[in-house]
């Protein structure tokens, strides 16, 4: 276990247990974050997928919004987590943390029944990544210095902005560790 590094996973709702399992597979110490004081122990943080309106409400109910807004270490947002980190969710019920200058469009790939798995191209690896899309958002209008790391056809599905990573798909639902490894490298910088 890498004791020099602790990555928190926001454990309010969504696929947080799958992210924890993926990080443990990579020998990274993890904690499930539910309370503001737990953020102090984190070198990096994952905002998991889930339902963005529910997650936003739970963030407020647990009184953790201010601390999440101030968290300045690397963050990886997947699906609903990407929506919450974007500059615009397109939905007044889902206030964002405005951490990445990019627009998120909720459920843009369709409803639950229209979920799919598809290979995406990665800018940092020659092998495609088999991505799981479940009621996933689409990203558009990336701001200056937002690096597009992954695309599905012409659609942006993975971006990096400074020490922040956004994914519209669920890498934690695969056996492929490359996206999490990429995030771990950001945390180690």
Going residue by residue through the chain, which has 189 residues, state the pLDDT in tens, using 9 for 90 and above.
Answer: 566 899 999 998 878 999 999 999 999 999 999 999 999 999 999 999 888 888 899 999 999 999 999 999 999 999 989 999 999 988 888 888 999 999 998 766 666 656 789 999 999 999 999 999 888 888 989 999 999 999 998 899 999 999 999 999 999 999 999 999 999 999 998
Run of H or E residues at 115? none
Which pTM does this prediction carry?
0.93
Our answer to whether residue 24 is catalytic in this structure is no
Distance CA 7, CA 11 (A): 12
Closest CA to 105 of 155, 68, 60: 155
What are the structural domains, with CATH classification, of the chain? 2-188 (3.40.50.880)
Question: How does strand 164-167 pair with strand 75-78?
Answer: parallel
Active-site hit among 42, 79, 105, 180 = 79
The token duo for 8 is 């928190």
170 tagged catalytic: yes
Asked if residues 155 and 142 have their Cβ atoms less than 8 Å apart, the reply is no
């Amino acid at each position: 276990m890498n004791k020099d590094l602790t990555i928190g996973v926001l454990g309010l709702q969504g696929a947080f247990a799958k992210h924890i399992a993926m990080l443990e597979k990579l020998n990274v110490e993890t904690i499930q974050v539910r309370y503001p004081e737990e953020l102090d122990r984190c070198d990096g943080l994952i905002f998991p997928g889930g339902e963005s309106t529910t997650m936003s409400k739970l963030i407020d109910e647990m009184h953790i919004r201010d601390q999440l807004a101030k968290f300045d270490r690397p963050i990886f947002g997947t699906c609903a987590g990407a929506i919450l980190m974007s500059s615009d969710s397109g939905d007044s019920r889902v206030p964002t943390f405005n951490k990445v200058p990019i627009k998120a469009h909720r459920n843009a790939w369709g409803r639950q029944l229209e979920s799919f798995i598809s290979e995406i191209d990665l800018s940092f690896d020659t092998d495609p990544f088999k991505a799981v899309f479940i009621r996933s958002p689409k990203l558009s209008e990336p701001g200056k210095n937002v690096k597009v790391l992954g695309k599905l056809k012409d659609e942006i599905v993975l971006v990096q902005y400074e020490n922040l990573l956004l994914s519209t798909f669920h890498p934690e639902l695969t056996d492929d560790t490359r996206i999490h490894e990429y995030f771990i490298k950001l945390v180690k910088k």
